[in-house]
Amino acid sequence: MPMSANPETSSLGVAHLEKLWRHATRCGREKLSPRNWTHDRIVIEGLSLPLEETLQYLGQQRPPLADFEKWILDRNDGAIEPLRIERINATIHGEQYSDELKALIRAIDEAEPVLSAADLSFWEEHGYVIVHDAITQDDCRAAELAVWQSLNMHPHNPETWYQRSTHGIMRQIFHHPALTKNRRSARAHKAFAQIWGTGDLWATIDRVSFNPPESKGWAFPGPHLHWDTSLAAPIPFDVSGLIY
């Protein structure tokens, strides 16, 4: 398979991308070390790729590197902003951000708080907090319609709601302009920044869910309540969220 001149940087100019491709497709001898896994996550999420979809594509299809790069571009509407690539590379190499990148993050850190002191106190006590109006009603409606359309269901026809899924209520819908816009919500970003103590955050690209009411012929399919981390002490600090 074709290889780029620098084994650390792909033709897209993204550090570590080729190494990710090599070990995920088993086309090389690189072992999956904790350091590699951290860099994998930086590249995947920095390029706005879903973790599950990306690893399944690489592991099952084992595409040539050029095809993987095209696949990445297809999921980014044909182009990746230079600042995003710069941020990935600086993080991978442990280098300082440019002044432009620093200014973008500083703007988040200095933005008006979304979570009040009472909200943060509630978070500390209960481990969750509700951010009202994280996105606009119009953006919420656009995301809802994207889900209905992607599932070929109709909101006013319950007979269309009950379709079996291999993932329970989770549906493998990752890419849609409405979802992309909501992931970039400045209000949501600021709320996460307050909890993490920094605006220098990477947004994960996750799927959607669809949970119709139970009926005589339909019981809740799961997944049931669970933790996405080990509860063995010390429990690592992590934060997840959903737009409901």
Residue 176 has what pLDDT?
94
CA–CA distance, 195 with 197 (Å, rounded to integer): 6
CA–CA distance, 79 with 157 (Å, rounded to integer): 38
Q: Is the pLDDT of residue 143 over 90?
A: yes
**Integer distance in angstroms from the first to the last C-alpha of the chain?**
44
Residue 229 has what pLDDT?
85
- Please count the helices (runs of H) and the strands (runs of E) in the chain: 10, 2
Distance from CA of residue 150 to its chain's centroid? 19
Q: Is the pLDDT of residue 6 over 60?
A: no
CA–CA distance, 66 with 68 (Å, rounded to integer): 5
State yes or no: cis peptide before 223, omega within 30 of 0: yes
Residue-level length of the chain? 244
Q: What number of CA atoms fall less than 13 Å from residue 38's CA on the CB side?
A: 7
Residue type, 3: M
Beta strands in 128-224 (DSSP E): 170-171, 208-209
Portion of the chain with pLDDT greater than 70, in percent? 93
Portion of the chain with pLDDT greater than 90, in percent? 81
Residue 1 has what pLDDT?
33
Residue 167: partners with Cβ closer than 8 Å, 6 or more residues away: 207
CA–CA distance, 114 with 132 (Å, rounded to integer): 9
CA–CA distance, 140 with 122 (Å, rounded to integer): 25
pTM above 0.75, yes or no: yes
